[in-house]
Amino acid sequence: MILTSATVGYLGAQSALYALALVSGVKAWQILRTWDFNKSTKEQYANEKNAYLVSTVIIFLLFFKALLAIFLIYLIDSLTPFIRAAMCGVGVLNATILGWELIFLKMALIALFGLWLKSDLKDKEALDYPLIKFKFRFFLIILFLMSIELLFDYIMIFSLETQKVVSCCSVTFSAQNELAGFISLERSFVGVVFFITALFYLLLGVASFFYKKAQPFFGVFAIFYLIVGLFFVVYTVSPYVYELPTHTCPFCIIQKEYFYIGYLFYLFLFMSGFYGIKRGFSKLFLKENGKKDIILSLIFGLIFIALSLLYTFGYYIKNGVWL
């Protein structure tokens, strides 16, 4: 266990936001039980006012949850000096329980909050609140995941072992990983799989632009594209950023020494996948047709690919060899 001002502040902020979300969840449940827009009762009038208040609080939660997710990356990296043999945030995550699971859960929650925001905006466009029950039931699912997230937060911080000898990032993500227990993948294999996935994703996006029935498939495939893209950044792109074949790491790429370029990689990849998921979500659950999300998804995806090629082909042009 490591208690610093950063860890205490992080857990305090997470607990406060969860308490706020819990109160909102209770109020949302009460609204769901008594909601009837066709009634002109005092109770229904109170429900409509409370629904607006709860929606505003959830938007507030979305903003600060995104900030805390970014702060968690800084927090993990700041704990590196306390962990024996840790050279970056990977060592810290290897020295704790549920660290990696927490990172992925936070990414999923931010995406879900974004989808909830879309349903809230769609609901407010009409005068009769057609999606009020859907969006509050959706929020209750998010609240359940937030409960797991808060538990993971405390487990991660309190399970940190300062004397545990951990493997460095290059060992954890090496193709011949025998120590860290993480997924071992070849750099070229991941690169080929990603570009096949990205090509199919782009083609599916174009098909979705012209054929509405393809949009749900585009949204579902966006999840797979996002996962493959993360492996692509770690195993294939990062060594070209470091210009070192043995260095594969998802954390060092966001450091000052590499001009924080990792933030752009993760941002463009996440936004590309999110807008694809959002398009499928809107078509399936909100019965909404549109092309803006498809265009944004493809634009962010092409920027991500271009940025990746800039480093990989740039290295080859400069040195005449591949890593």
Residue 59 lies in a domain: yes
Same domain, residue pair 180 and 256: yes
Does the predicted model carry a pTM greater than 0.85? yes
Answer yes or no: do 195 and 284 share one domain: yes
Instruction: Identify whether residues 120 and 239 lie together within a single domain.
Output: no
Domain co-membership, 210 together with 314: yes
Residue 177 is assigned to a structural domain of this protein:
yes
Please check whether residues 42 and 115 belong to one and the same domain: yes
109/209 Cα distance (integer angstroms): 27
Gap between the Cα atoms of 290 and 135, Å rounded: 20
| 286: nearest Cα among 121, 79, 81 | 121
Q: Check whether residue 133 and residue 232 sit in a common domain.
A: no
Residues 145 and 279 in one domain: no
How many Cα atoms are found within 13 Å in the side-chain-facing hemisphere of 53? 14
- Would 163 be classed as within a structural domain? no
Cβ 146 vs Cβ 109: under 8 Å: yes
Structural domain tally of the chain? Answer: 2
**Domain's final residue, options 129, 158, 187:** 158
**Strand runs (DSSP E) across 56-129, as ranges?**
none
User: How far apart, in Å, do the first and last CA atoms of the chain sit?
Assistant: 39
Read off the tokens for 21. 């979300």
In a domain, 65, yes or no: yes
Number of neighbours of residue 140 by Cβ within 10 angstroms: 14
Q: Give the per-residue pLDDT at 221.
A: 98
State residue 179's pLDDT score.
Answer: 42
* Domain range enclosing 309: 169-319
pLDDT at site 245: 87
Cα separation, 78 vs 66, whole angstroms: 19
pLDDT beneath 70: ranges in the chain: 168, 170, 174-184
How far is 173 from 180, CA to CA, in rounded Å?
8
Domain closes at, from 158, 182, 213:
158
36 and 59 both lie in a single domain: yes
* Helix, strand, coil percent content, the chain, rounded in steps of 5: 75, 0, 25
> CB neighbours (10 Å) of residue 253?
27
Domain co-membership, 221 together with 140: no
Claim to verify: residue 112 and residue 200 sit in the same structural domain: no
The Cα–Cα gap between 304 and 274 comes to 13
